Chain A
Amino acid sequence: MQAFIITFASVIVGGGLAGATVVGLVNSQTAPPENSPANVSNPVLEYGATK
């Protein structure tokens, strides 16, 4: 029973750590960097509007 609890707790903790790591990694790679060249083009002024 104790072995089962230890295994179960390990799975939960390990899974949580792995999930947090993956989420952190994805976020760090996809979030816009603070210094983005897109910002040097912003704010984009509209050439016109159809409505």
Chain B
Amino acid sequence: MLAVLLLGPALGPGYLLTYDMVWVPDLALRSDFLGLGSALPRAVPSDAVVAVLDEVVPGMLLQKLMLLGALVTGGVGAAALAGSALSARLVAVSVYVWSPFVIERLWIGHWPLVLCWAVLPWLVRQGVRLREDPRVGSTLPVLLLIGSLSANAGLMAAATLLAVGATRRSTPRMVALLLAANAPWLVAGVLHVGEARSSSAGAVFGLDAEGTLPAPVAALTSGGIWNAEVVPDSRTQLLLPLVLTLVIGALAVAGYRPMARRLGRRTTTALVVLWAIGYAVAIVSWATPDLVGWLAETLPAGGLLRDGSRWLALCAPLTAVVVAEGATRWAGRVPQRFAVAAALVPLAFMPDAAWGVGGTLRPADYPDDWAVARSELGDGRGDLLVLPFTSYRQPAWNHDHKVLDPLPRFLEPNYVVNDELAVDGRIIAGEDPRVPDVLDALALPSAGERADALGALGIGAVARDLSQPVAGYEAPVAGTVVHRGAGLEVTLLDVTVDRRDTPAEWWVALLAAWTAYVGLAAVAVANLVRRVAPRMAVRPRDG
């Protein structure tokens, strides 16, 4: 119910397209989704997983299932961690779900991160189980697959499982499972190590104040995302979040001892350590942006630290459980109905988050034109270039909401997009080495020369979004127009397209990684069948 209240119109017909959240009717699987592209593989394995699943479940329905499933899974997981008292369970659910972290990350479209957050309480429970019973089972592999759909998410899922469950006996098996679940992005990341350094200007993505609420205080209640555009108004007032912080702090102090008694020293220590890591990374990204920028620019994968408030997901399990314990302790002194009402406290402090942040998270329908263009282009010849050469759009058909350009994912070929980002009027350089080459090609004087140069870069088609304004220079490219609609034009380049050569060792390495990933899913299915089959076999004899 809380999930439905939070998502509201987002569950209606259409596609929720908000900032980085891009879902299309039928995402075509392509080699770049496996980690073979020229850009840093930020959406490995999430894009490939969606592309496979939407062959079974339509993309629109799959997105709704993901959104609703994430919030329900997270909430039920928090309740399961919180013990048996009804008041504790209700408080745990509302603290876990109705949090700035969930709302802001949904709004900015970081859905793999939200899925990771959803499975963390379950990974805590699995970790506790693994200390006694080292069998893998069927649930743990599924949780790891869901929780490791991006690099940040995979690291946090791994940290949680290891912190809670690692023992001398269980660790080797656990590490093997974690390597399999994270193999696609790990291997793709290693293969792209040359591009794995990010601009130091990306330090702008660190933890930030919310309105007048200082960043360290905002982080205590899991807020503090860098982008002020996705912060609910109620979080930008000083009073409400400050009182919420005090209430949560008081309940946490009251609940710590009972929680430690119930969960035991090992689990409690693990949850506290995870909380401290999450909070510390967030604070470092706020307090020392230059250091984080230097790390991103210097160390491969150092950019994983720059959006520091992502790591606040690690704080969520402890916060929900300890606050729930505090509320239960307090509930012993007041009538039960008041204790249950305590579950409504987070809602009262962030009422504008309800109903998809007051109707902001509304789905949209793609222009009909796009489906026609997709069928006319097919898988094209070579890669696709989308113009204007910018990464974000604000289409009128998407209620004028910003979104990562969905057109490349809507069409079928591999694509080149401009991975430069603009924040606060500053351009943050991307990592794809082909982007400067594409800009050079577009600067050539004639349409024919541009087409030749793009062909040499492996680009065989250009899709031009006519609904987006450009400042004078549209960089026309010579070729055969295969589609021209009201808002979209697609041109096939009549030139020799130099296909990108992928080294054989890349194929081998990624084949091994994906085999491990799929193998983990097979382990889950096999263990499920092994558990269920004996019961099925017994049933006829019973009958």
B389 touches A40 (CB 8 A): yes
Q: Is A41 an interface residue (CB 8 A)?
A: yes
Q: How many residues of B contact A (CB 8 A)?
A: 38
Contact A49 B228 (CB under 8 A): yes
Are B473 and A39 in contact, CB atoms less than 8 angstroms apart? yes
Taking A37-B439, A39-B473, A48-B226 as given, write out 19 further A-B residue pairs in contact, using a Cβ cutoff of 8 Å, ordered by the A residue number. A34-B473, A37-B475, A40-B387, A40-B388, A40-B442, A42-B388, A42-B390, A42-B470, A44-B427, A45-B394, A45-B422, A47-B19, A47-B392, A47-B422, A47-B423, A48-B19, A48-B423, A50-B226, A50-B228
In the complex, chain A residues whose CB is within 8 Å of the CB of B423: 46-50
A8 to B249, CA, bound (A): 84
By beta carbon, the residue of chain B nearest A51 is B228
CA distance A34 to B443 in the complex (A): 11
Contact: A40 with B473, CB < 8 Å? yes
Within the assembled complex, what's the spacing in Å between the Cα atoms of A47 and B417? 15
| A42-B470 Cα distance, complex, nearest whole Å | 6
Q: What's the Cα separation between A36 and B387 when bound, in Å?
A: 14
A28 is an interface residue with CB less than 8 A from chain B? no
Indicate if the CB atoms of B471 and A37 lie closer than 8 Å.
no
Asked if B229 is an interface residue, CB under 8 A from chain A, the answer is yes
Check: B440 CB closer than 8 A to any chain A CB: yes
A-contact 0/1 string along B213-237, CB 8 Å cutoff: 0000000000000111110000000
Which residues of B, 163-210, contact A by the 8 Å Cβ criterion?
Answer: 204, 208
Whether A46 and B469, one on each chain, are in contact in the complex, defined by CB atoms closer than 8 angstroms, is: no
Residues of B within 8 A of A27 (CB): none
> Which residue in chain A gives the minimum CB-CB distance to B206?
A50
The majority secondary structure among interface residues of chain A is: loop
B392 to chain A, nearest CB (A): 5
Contact check, A48 vs B230: say whether CB atoms are below 8 A apart. yes
Q: Please, which residues of chain B bring their CB within 8 A of the CB of A37?
A: 389, 439-440, 442-443, 473, 475
Binary interface profile of A, 9-50, with partner B (CB < 8 Å = 1, else 0)? 000000000000000000000000011111111111111111
Which single member of A39, A46, A47 contacts B470 (CB below 8 Å)?
A39
Using Cβ atoms and an 8 Å threshold, which residues of chain B touch A40? 387-389, 442, 470, 473-475
* Contact, CB under 8 Å: B208 / A50: yes
In the complex, what residues of A have CB within 8 A of residue B394's CB? 45
Q: Which residues from A are CB-within-8-Å of B422?
A: 44-47
CA distance A24 to B217 in the complex (A): 57
Assembled-state Cα–Cα distance A36/B471 (Å): 10
A35: B residues at CB distance < 8 A: 443, 445, 473, 475
Residues of B within 8 A of A42 (CB): 388, 390, 470-471
Within 8 A of A (CB), among B404-437: 418, 420-425, 427
The smallest C-beta distance from A15 to any residue of chain B, in angstroms, reads 36
Q: How far is the CB of A45 from chain B (nearest CB, A)?
A: 5
- In the bound assembly, the distance between CA atoms of A44 and B472 in angstroms comes to 13
A36 to chain B: which residues have CB within 8 Å? 443, 473
A-B contact pairs, 29 of them (CB 8 A): A34-B472, A35-B443, A35-B445, A36-B443, A37-B442, A38-B439, A39-B471, A39-B472, A40-B388, A40-B389, A40-B470, A40-B473, A40-B474, A41-B388, A41-B390, A42-B471, A44-B390, A44-B427, A45-B393, A46-B392, A46-B423, A47-B227, A47-B402, A48-B228, A49-B227, A49-B229, A50-B204, A50-B227, A51-B228
